[in-house]
Amino acid sequence: QTSRPDLNVYFGRSDPDRDGECRKGQAILTHFPIVNAGTIRLPQTRVVGRSAIWADIQLPGHDTPMRTYNVHLENRGDGTIRSVQTLTILRHAQAWRRKNPGAPLAIIGDFNSLVNRMSSGKTENSIAHMLRRMRSALPQGANTHVLEYQTDWIFFDQMNLHRAQVVPIVRSDHFPIVADFSVTALRPQEPPLHSSGN
């Protein structure tokens, strides 16, 4: 819940079946109306569940809502499960995109990607999947974690990026990331998301 009456909120539990102190979740907060929302249960390899949430946000002056995802992927292993989780989210977004070819789309959050500036230009498979389909607001190599990993990302489509940055304040082991966008008139076009056999 928020004490701000001017904000609309959708909150989804990462693991609705888990009780106790480790009940995590994600939230989407917006000044604009949320017209639809939901939670995607992601494939997992451990007892701790992971999920992504989504919300359709009605922007002023646009008939078609903007779709936003907030994700929190697995933080263990060699990245294989993160790749599977990312493809699950992308399939969900592709189904929406086929019906809304010109609408703005953002997929943001904690991808827990464990490649850093010492990784010789390698890109984790989950991030490579995203970069084949969407643009990143932050450059590759941006440090978003106290351990100098780029774990957090903002991916976008059908929006104009004006500014993005990592905010160097410590409230947890992750640094906040922010981006400013504008949305122009929506014109239906060929869907930018595509199936590549992955």
Q: In angstroms, rounded to a whole number, what is the distance separating the alpha carbons of residues 83 and 125?
A: 6
pLDDT tops 50 at residue 79: yes
pLDDT tops 70 at residue 143: yes
Where in 2-114 does DSSP place strands (E)? Answer: 8-13, 25-30, 34-41, 51-57, 66-72, 105-110
pLDDT digits (tens, 9 = 90+) for 80-136: 899 999 999 999 999 999 999 989 999 999 888 876 655 556 788 999 999 999 999
Q: Are 145 and 186 in contact (CB under 8 A)?
A: no
- Helices 125-133 and 80-99 cross at an angle (nearest 10°) of 20
Report the pLDDT value the prediction gives residue 160, as an integer from 0 to 100.
95
Percent of the chain topping pLDDT 70:
81
Half-sphere exposure of 138 (CA within 13 A, CB side): 21
Q: Are 198 and 87 in contact (CB under 8 A)?
A: yes
Q: In angstroms, rounded to a whole number, what is the distance separating the alpha carbons of residues 17 and 14?
A: 9
pLDDT digits (tens, 9 = 90+) for 152-182: 889 999 999 999 988 887 777 778 889 999 9
